[in-house]
Amino acid sequence: MCHNIIDGRYHTACGHFYAMSTRHHDCLRPNCLFSRRHTHLTGCRSPGCVRLMALPVRNPIRISPTVCSDCISRERIGSLGVQR
Q: What is the DSSP letter of 53?
A: P
Q: Which residues face 16 on adjacent strands?
A: none
The CA–CA distances, whole Å, from 81 to 5, 35, 70, 74 equal: 40, 52, 17, 11
pLDDT of 7 above 60: yes
One-letter amino acid at 40 equals H
pLDDT class of 29 with cuts at 50, 70, 90: very high
- Output the pLDDT for position 77: 83
The rounded distance, in Å, linking the Cα atoms of 18 and 60 is: 9
Looking at residues 36-48, what average pLDDT do you find?
86
pLDDT class of 75 with cuts at 50, 70, 90: confident
Q: Which pTM value belongs to this model?
A: 0.76
Please list, residue by residue across 15-52, b when 16 or more beta carbons sit within 10 angstroms of its beta carbon and e when fewer do: ebeeeeeeeeeebebebbbbbeebeeeeeeeeeebbee
